[in-house]
Structure 1
Amino acid sequence: MASPNNSTAPRLAFVCAPTPTARAARDRLVRRYGAVNQAQADIIVALGGDGLMLHALHSNMRRRTPIYGMNLGTVGFLLNTFKEPGLLQRLKKARQVTLTPLRMVATNNRGKTVDVIAINEVSLLRSSRQTARIAVVVDGRPRLPDLYCDGILVATPAGSTAYNLSAHGPILPLGAGLLALTPINAFRPRRWRGALLPRHSEVELTVLDPGKRPVAAAADSVEIPNVVKVTITEATDIALTLLFDPEHDLEERILKEQFNP
């Protein structure tokens, strides 16, 4: 890879979605600004959509390198506007937003336990035509002994505008210190629409009758089939840094989303 022309500039690594448009944009930016590999980078520039940004965050979770995204996808909620000129100046002025993900510990019907990190949400979904039956415990206290539903999810503020919003869950400002616990097509109790929980809450979801009503758990894009119990907590040992142009920071986007008709 080429190296930056200006020794005082941050070392940049470019990652992109597997589309012709994103790949061409990456090649032009590398020629213009130079590039190093991700392990050497001061900043990672992600080119694509929200899915590519989530992949970049997961891939660099241990390095915790700041990531600046430019939208070449569809929604681009977690990304800035794509522009080739002035990238170094934009990076210099960018605001930092720190995200704390969720940790999902899932146990399947064979007793195997899997530990997965989720940036957007952890969700449980029925795997058959039968509705799922799930017991909900929060901080050791039973809250719903038997929820009949298509599923249930716990979303972070950054993920509250994704699947959570599609399931009619609330949009959460980043500084609210809350998580959204949202049912997916709840059948019984029929009027339960979910809950707002303090961010440090521990949510334990137990699948009732998993033989007849199997359930899969997903942490972002990682899916675990045939779960019997899932525990969700805030991963306080992990801090992820996103960079936003001052006029396009994530807090403002989340606020604007709440006023969209």
Structure 2
Amino acid sequence: MSDEPRLALLVSDGERAQEAADEVIRDLADWVPLEEADIAVILGGDGFMLQSLHAMLDSGRVIPAYGVNLGTVGFLMNRNRQPEKLLQRIGKAKRLDILPIAMEATAQDGEVHKFRAINEVSLLRETRQTAKIEVQVDGKTRIKELVCDGVLVATPAGSTAYNLSADGPILPLDSQLLALTPISAFRPRRWKGAILPDRSCVNFKVNEPGKRPVSAVADQREMRDVAEVRLEIAREHPLTLLFDPGHSLDERIVAEQFVF
């Protein structure tokens, strides 16, 4: 019986990813369906990687993922090089475990939705009116009324995405921290955000929700007209990414802080 891992191939709709799959990669292995695989090989960009990881979370069967960047940024992916040596690269890859955020959002009508976010959860104003949001950490109100365009909580893996664009801090992957970052805050004027232990539970309560409606977005999933959002790390749902030696996400996070 072979000890070789069974591989599933997931390819984005992008032209580059489809061409790479057809030219070389489909012929490299006896690919199996995702539900039978030990490792998922993902061709595309960061968005497709997030989509694939969420699909695994939703299915209840999560396996390690090795990404090949055939998109734009590719922060969660490996470089697209030596495709003919893909199987050897997977065999030498290093594992990196990341933990998603569990979001429980209550709508203004009382309906409750639960999502998970690998990068971040963001609350965003829906109209031209600024949002007014109460910020609680571990049951204690830290900001009674944050007047802003929005606010987000990012994981270390997501700290270089929307969080960085909003002037939030870059977090090392092994830091066990979360970034709490305001988006265009008007009051308190000088508050730039906070760094929290990842054991923290963060609650957002929307003030004047009828006049100032707010949506909650967990990665790519949006819920509109929320009244309250509760966030905490989903430790029961770890995800594993595979990276080539010397090209890990840790290194990319360090390198990102020296780009001018």
Deviations, residues 71-122 of structure 1 (Å, cap 9, x unaligned): 0011100000113111121111100000000000000011000010000000
Structure 1 gap segments, 5+ residues each? 1-5
Structure 2 gap segments, 5+ residues each? none
TM-score w.r.t. the length of structure 1 is 0.96
CA distance in 2 between partners of 1:167 and 1:193 (Å): 10
Q: Which residue of 2 aligns with 1:120?
A: 119
CA distance in 2 between partners of 1:237 and 1:95 (Å): 22
Q: What SS does the corresponding residue of 1:210 show, helix, strand or coil?
A: coil
Q: What SS does the corresponding residue of 1:168 show, helix, strand or coil?
A: coil
Q: Which residue of 2 aligns with 1:3?
A: none
Equivalence map 1:29-178=2 (5 Å): 29-61=25-57, 62-83=60-81, 84-178=83-177
Contact 2:16 2:71 in 1 (8 A): no
CA distance in 2 between partners of 1:24 and 1:60 (Å): 25
Stretch deviating more after TM superposition (76-85 or 114-123): 76-85
**Identity level (%):** 54
CA distance in 2 between partners of 1:21 and 1:196 (Å): 38
Contact 1:9 1:88 in 2 (8 A): no
Q: 1:11 aligns with which of 6, 10, 13?
A: 6
Q: Which residue of 1 aligns with 2:193?
A: 194
Q: Which residue of 1 aligns with 2:257?
A: 258
CA distance in 2 between partners of 1:259 and 1:199 (Å): 25
4+ residue runs of structure 1 moved beyond 3 angstroms? none
One-letter amino acid matched to 1:104: M
Contact 1:98 1:241 in 2 (8 A): yes
- Root-mean-square deviation (CA, aligned residues, Å) is 1.1
Contact 2:100 2:234 in 1 (8 A): yes
Q: What SS does the corresponding residue of 1:51 show, helix, strand or coil?
A: helix
TM-score w.r.t. the length of structure 2 is 0.96
Would you say how many aligned residue pairs link Structure 1 and Structure 2? 256
Task: Report the Cα offset of residue 32 of structure 1.
Answer: 2.2
Stretch deviating more after TM superposition (116-125 or 84-93): 84-93
Stretch deviating more after TM superposition (84-93 or 130-139): 84-93
One-letter amino acid matched to 2:69: N
Task: Report the Cα offset of residue 8 of structure 1.
Answer: 4.2
CA distance in 2 between partners of 1:101 and 1:209 (Å): 30
Stretch deviating more after TM superposition (34-43 or 144-153): 34-43
CA distance in 1 between partners of 2:227 and 2:170 (Å): 29
CA distance in 1 between partners of 2:91 and 2:28 (Å): 17
